[in-house]
Amino acid sequence: MGGGLRLILAIGAVAAAWLALALTPSPALAKLPPLRDPVFLNIGFVCRWQTHCMQLQEKAMKRALSYVKKKDPPLWKVQQCNRNASRNRGRGRVDWIGYYNCIKNPALQRRAVPSGRTTRRR
Protein backbone atom coordinates (compact mmCIF):
# COMPACT_ATOMS: atom_id res chain seq x y z
CA MET A 1 0.00 0.00 0.00
CA GLY A 2 1.48 3.31 -1.04
CA GLY A 3 1.58 6.50 0.99
CA GLY A 4 -0.97 8.17 -1.30
CA LEU A 5 -3.51 5.39 -0.82
CA ARG A 6 -3.15 5.56 3.00
CA LEU A 7 -3.73 9.32 2.88
CA ILE A 8 -6.86 8.89 0.76
CA LEU A 9 -8.20 6.22 3.16
CA ALA A 10 -7.48 8.42 6.18
CA ILE A 11 -9.21 11.42 4.60
CA GLY A 12 -12.15 9.20 3.64
CA ALA A 13 -12.45 7.90 7.23
CA VAL A 14 -12.38 11.42 8.66
CA ALA A 15 -14.96 12.59 6.12
CA ALA A 16 -17.24 9.64 6.92
CA ALA A 17 -16.99 10.33 10.67
CA TRP A 18 -17.73 14.01 10.13
CA LEU A 19 -20.71 13.20 7.92
CA ALA A 20 -22.08 10.77 10.50
CA LEU A 21 -21.84 13.47 13.18
CA ALA A 22 -23.47 16.05 10.93
CA LEU A 23 -26.43 13.78 10.14
CA THR A 24 -27.23 12.71 13.72
CA PRO A 25 -29.90 14.84 15.37
CA SER A 26 -28.71 16.96 18.27
CA PRO A 27 -30.32 16.52 21.72
CA ALA A 28 -31.57 20.11 21.58
CA LEU A 29 -33.61 19.34 18.48
CA ALA A 30 -35.13 16.15 19.87
CA LYS A 31 -37.97 17.36 22.11
CA LEU A 32 -39.11 13.93 23.28
CA PRO A 33 -38.93 13.70 27.08
CA PRO A 34 -36.57 11.03 28.36
CA LEU A 35 -38.78 8.67 30.35
CA ARG A 36 -35.94 7.46 32.54
CA ASP A 37 -35.00 10.88 33.97
CA PRO A 38 -37.30 11.62 36.94
CA VAL A 39 -35.93 15.14 37.50
CA PHE A 40 -36.59 16.14 33.90
CA LEU A 41 -40.08 14.60 34.04
CA ASN A 42 -40.87 16.41 37.31
CA ILE A 43 -39.80 19.77 35.90
CA GLY A 44 -41.62 19.04 32.64
CA PHE A 45 -44.88 18.27 34.42
CA VAL A 46 -44.60 21.30 36.68
CA CYS A 47 -43.96 23.57 33.69
CA ARG A 48 -46.33 21.80 31.30
CA TRP A 49 -43.35 21.32 28.94
CA GLN A 50 -42.83 25.06 28.34
CA THR A 51 -39.14 25.48 27.52
CA HIS A 52 -38.58 28.83 29.25
CA CYS A 53 -40.24 27.66 32.46
CA MET A 54 -38.22 24.43 32.43
CA GLN A 55 -34.99 26.39 32.08
CA LEU A 56 -35.91 28.60 35.05
CA GLN A 57 -36.84 25.56 37.17
CA GLU A 58 -33.59 23.75 36.32
CA LYS A 59 -31.54 26.85 37.14
CA ALA A 60 -33.36 27.23 40.49
CA MET A 61 -32.84 23.52 41.23
CA LYS A 62 -29.10 23.79 40.70
CA ARG A 63 -28.90 26.93 42.86
CA ALA A 64 -30.99 25.36 45.64
CA LEU A 65 -28.99 22.13 45.72
CA SER A 66 -25.73 24.05 45.73
CA TYR A 67 -26.98 26.29 48.56
CA VAL A 68 -28.07 23.30 50.67
CA LYS A 69 -24.74 21.57 50.07
CA LYS A 70 -22.73 24.71 50.90
CA LYS A 71 -24.69 26.16 53.85
CA ASP A 72 -26.10 22.94 55.39
CA PRO A 73 -29.37 24.44 56.71
CA PRO A 74 -31.19 22.72 59.58
CA LEU A 75 -33.20 19.63 58.69
CA TRP A 76 -36.51 21.20 59.75
CA LYS A 77 -35.97 24.02 57.25
CA VAL A 78 -35.24 21.61 54.39
CA GLN A 79 -38.33 19.56 55.24
CA GLN A 80 -40.58 22.58 55.64
CA CYS A 81 -39.46 24.11 52.35
CA ASN A 82 -39.89 20.77 50.61
CA ARG A 83 -43.47 20.54 51.91
CA ASN A 84 -44.18 24.13 50.88
CA ALA A 85 -42.72 23.65 47.40
CA SER A 86 -44.72 20.51 46.68
CA ARG A 87 -48.00 21.59 48.29
CA ASN A 88 -49.63 23.19 45.24
CA ARG A 89 -48.04 21.07 42.53
CA GLY A 90 -49.33 17.64 43.40
CA ARG A 91 -47.82 14.75 45.23
CA GLY A 92 -44.12 14.29 44.53
CA ARG A 93 -43.75 17.32 42.24
CA VAL A 94 -41.51 20.11 43.44
CA ASP A 95 -41.57 23.74 42.38
CA TRP A 96 -37.82 24.44 42.53
CA ILE A 97 -38.16 28.22 42.33
CA GLY A 98 -40.41 28.17 45.40
CA TYR A 99 -38.03 25.80 47.18
CA TYR A 100 -35.02 28.01 46.46
CA ASN A 101 -36.82 31.12 47.70
CA CYS A 102 -37.91 29.30 50.85
CA ILE A 103 -34.55 27.74 51.72
CA LYS A 104 -32.76 31.10 51.39
CA ASN A 105 -35.35 32.97 53.46
CA PRO A 106 -33.64 34.07 56.71
CA ALA A 107 -36.96 35.07 58.31
CA LEU A 108 -38.43 31.57 58.03
CA GLN A 109 -39.57 30.28 61.42
CA ARG A 110 -39.93 26.70 62.48
CA ARG A 111 -43.56 25.59 62.44
CA ALA A 112 -44.97 23.57 65.27
CA VAL A 113 -45.62 20.08 63.92
CA PRO A 114 -48.16 17.92 65.74
CA SER A 115 -46.41 15.12 67.60
CA GLY A 116 -48.91 12.46 66.58
CA ARG A 117 -52.06 11.92 64.69
CA THR A 118 -55.13 12.68 66.73
CA THR A 119 -58.40 11.16 65.70
CA ARG A 120 -61.75 11.23 67.35
CA ARG A 121 -63.51 8.05 68.15
CA ARG A 122 -67.25 7.97 68.26
Model confidence pLDDT, tens digit, residues 60-119: 999 999 999 999 999 999 999 988 888 766 666 788 999 999 999 999 998 876 666 555
Write 44-53 long-range contacts (CB < 8 A, 24+).
45/90, 45/93, 46/89, 46/93, 46/94, 46/95
